[in-house]
A = this chain, B = another copy of it.
Amino acid sequence: MTSLKIGVAGLGTVGISVLKILEDNKATIRNRAGSAIEVVGVTARNKNAKRPMDISAYTWFDDAQDMVAHCDVLVELIGGSDGIAYKLVKEALSKGVSVVTANKAMIAHHGLELATLAEENNCNLMFEAAVAGAVPIVNAIRHSFTSDKITGVHGILNGTSNYILTQMRETGRDFADVLKDAQDKGYAEADPTFDIEGVDAGHKVAILAALAFGTQPDFSGVHMTGISSLTEEDFHFAGELGFKIKLLGSAEMHDDRVLQIVEPCFIPDGSPFAAIEDAYNAVYCECEYAETPLMSGLGAGGDATASSVVGDIVALARGESAPVFGVPVSSLKKVGSFDPREVESRYYIRFNVKDKVGVMADISAILRDHGISIETMIQLGRSPEQNVNVVMVTHDALREDVNTASDLISRLDVIFGEPCIIRIEEDF
């Protein structure tokens, strides 16, 4: 029984958890893997950083590339789409060293190139931890739904924003306040942009789309809207109307084009996704045969993410040989984008208006002229000549028409600021 030699690059929370799990669970992991997992080296930016674990027993490499030369598998936990992580992974794969990574940005941006490198050099590239933390959705698509035609993948894919949305709903506090609290508690980073603007979820959508549809990963085709412009009123109305607000990431095949979108949506209270709160993630597939399998679990955290990293290491020890994105790189299709403006759905729209006779009539007329039919329209309170919120729920309408009408409405002199438009997703 030979051992699998791994090197760990990046010793943040996840990296340290990987070392801890490999150590704590050594006998079981060896038994499941069929061989020992040997950590031949570790590397990080700063050898002497304060860490929750003594790493002096591991061989330290100042030069990560030097470490790669000693490995069967590089565990890349540095992060970032480009820079040192990207360079190191390319270096490893071109030498036939397999890579396990949690780096969604890198896979979303460079997945095609890296999968090609892996294939050319007979090694593998694994990234279960890159999507939805401990939820084994990559393995499920790569290994379980292989007989099926997947037509859609939808998920709550960012723990930080889901935590913020949960807190905003439960406490009634505003976005800035809850974000600050999340930062103080370590649930959000100092620069939270990627999390709150949908970019992190967008990386994951690009990865899931490639796996599910056998298409080339295309992050540039992901349309992203974040959660930072949501207000207490939106949560109030969502509740009144029987919905919760969730940041949904979706990929859907529409004939030969793929829709990739991240945006806050109204989903029915009581539906499976509505129960996914705080840092939990969930992914739901639409399949021809399996219909609608759903998976949920902890989307972030050192141990949860590390458990997926080590799962990938075990798979490599067992001789994992599935193609990186489920099919050989040469057959990954290059497909066009389905524009979100073509999405037909019910929409929630909120305007901030001056409370004045005739406002509702003006708004209604513009919507009518764009073929948008209103299901519900509510003005919150009365406050003559002051700002009030008007919210409405449309019947099924084309997003493009909703956008155009909203733009026109925004230009009325009784309207303040930008309208808030939220898609209503009945299915999750």
Residues of A in contact with B (beta carbons under 8 Å apart): 17, 21-22, 25, 28-29, 31-34, 128, 134-136, 139-140, 143-149, 214, 270-272, 275, 287-298, 303-304, 306-311, 313-315, 318-319, 321-323, 326-328, 331
Contacts and interface: CB of A to CB of B under 8 A. Distances in A.
A349 to B, nearest CB: 29
Contacts of A148: 21, 25, 307, 311
Contact of A32 (B294, B315, B326): B326
Contacts of A31: 214, 327-328, 331
Nearest to A139: B144
A34 B306 CA distance: 30
A28 B214 contact: yes
Contact of A140 (B29, B139, B309): B139
A32 B188 CA distance: 38
Given A139-B140, A275-B270, A321-B318, A145 B293 contact: no
Nearest to A135: B293
A290 B300 CA distance: 10
A318 B320 CA distance: 9
Nearest to A291: B298
A169 B160 CA distance: 37
Q: Which 9 residue pairs are nearest across A and B when measured between Cβ atoms?
A: A147-B310, A136-B144, A293-B297, A134-B290, A289-B307, A146-B314, A289-B303, A290-B307, A32-B146
Contacts of A128: 144
A25 B323 CA distance: 18
A129 to B, nearest CB: 11
Among A33, A146, A294, residue most surrounded by chain B Cβ atoms (within 10 Å): A146
Contacts of A304: 289-291
